[in-house]
């Protein structure tokens, strides 16, 4: 059943297709694009292109049922650990085996959990991923609560005014510190990435925190943000991330699988804001950290390795 909604002020300036996907996250992208292409999706009564920037207060007509009707009582009655919250953005600690955004209908994900938490608090259910983490990468992730905040934060990431630090347990003992500047090429069909001169520029810096002969704890700074960057770069220098089936070796992973390590030991440990301007100026210098997941924490404790300050 078709419905009409009024564009929220928090979506002012966002692309039409992105607004639709945020209101109806369970709709396949092909359905959204067909609706826009055929004109069954209309903005203020007119056909619109997918990349049109909408304005708060405009009327959006779609051929699908109301998001409230389609959501029922809410698909995912689960919450996430909150690391930081204010009216503009939240920082949550993403657990293992959870997507940031769904890739199919009725799939558990970070954004729907945040929306549920907002609903419980009586707030508007608006949540936008500022950046991504792989399904099995844990740790801090920023969620904007308005389109305006989303754009400011994404611009700040592009200008490298916000830095992310990862922790990883890798095979062997790399040098005390190093820099990996190898271009990365993604194969979308297989969802794999490899070092290739035809790929995009990628730069990773790492620092050895603790080493124990067979494995080590390293701190990783992704200067660029390519898909699977930390995993591919560390594997390329002979120190794959422990538990990484795709880019590691079965000889190492098989040994550690028997000890309970069943996913890549990669954790988004902290996010630090640089010199922010405008409405986010008060976040300048703030650092948000996330405690590691249980499997990584257990291994760190067994080795008596301490987290960086």
Active site residues: 134
**Phi first, then psi: what are they for 180, rounded to 5°?**
-115, 115
The token pair that represents 234 in the structure block: 């560390």
Is 120:74 a contact under the CB 8 Å cutoff?
A: no
User: Which residue carries 């698909």 as its tokens?
Assistant: 75
HSE-up of residue 184 (Cα within 13 Å, Cβ side): 23
The token pair that represents 35 in the structure block: 């609706």
The token pair that represents 142 in the structure block: 């920023």
Is 140:269 a contact under the CB 8 Å cutoff?
A: yes
Alpha helices in the chain (DSSP H): 16-23, 29-38, 67-71, 110-120, 147-158, 229-236, 250-257, 294-303
**How many C-beta atoms surround the C-beta of residue 14 within 10 A?**
24
**How many C-beta atoms surround the C-beta of residue 201 within 10 A?**
11
CA angle at residue 286 from 166 to 11, to 5 degrees? 90
3-state SS class at 73: coil
């Amino acid at each position: 059943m078709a419905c009409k909604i009024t564009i929220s002020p928090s979506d002012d300036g966002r692309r039409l297709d992105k607004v639709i996907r945020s209101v109806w996250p369970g709709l396949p992208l092909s359905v959204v694009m067909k609706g826009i292409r055929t004109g069954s999706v209309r903005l203020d009564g007119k056909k619109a292109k997918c990349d049109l920037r909408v304005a708060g207060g405009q009327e959006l007509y779609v051929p699908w049922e109301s998001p409230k009707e389609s959501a029922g009582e809410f698909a995912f009655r689960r919450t996430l650990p909150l690391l930081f919250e204010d009216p503009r953005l939240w920082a949550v600690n993403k657990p293992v085996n959870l997507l940031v955004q769904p890739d199919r209908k009725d799939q558990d994900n970070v954004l729907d959990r945040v929306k549920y938490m907002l609903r419980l608090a009586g707030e508007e259910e608006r949540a936008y991923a500022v950046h991504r983490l792989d399904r099995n990468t844990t740790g801090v992730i920023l969620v904007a609560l308005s389109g305006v905040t989303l754009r400011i934060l994404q611009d700040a990431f592009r200008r490298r005014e916000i830095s992310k630090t990862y922790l990883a347990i890798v095979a062997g003992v790399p040098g005390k510190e190093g820099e990996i500047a190898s271009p990365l090429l993604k194969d979308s069909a297989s969802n794999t990435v490899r070092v290739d001169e035809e790929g995009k520029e990628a730069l990773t810096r790492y620092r050895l925190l603790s080493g124990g002969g067979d494995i080590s704890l390293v701190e990783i700074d992704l200067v660029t943000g390519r898909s699977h960057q930390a995993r591919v770069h560390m594997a390329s220098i002979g120190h794959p991330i422990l538990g990484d089936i795709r880019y590691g070796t079965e000889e190492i992973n098989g040994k550690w699988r028997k000890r309970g390590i069943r996913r890549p030991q990669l954790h988004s440990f902290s996010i630090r804001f640089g010199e922010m301007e405008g409405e986010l100026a008060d976040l300048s210098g703030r650092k948000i950290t996330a405690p590691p997941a249980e499997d990584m924490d257990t291994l760190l404790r067994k080795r008596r390795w301490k987290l960086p300050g």
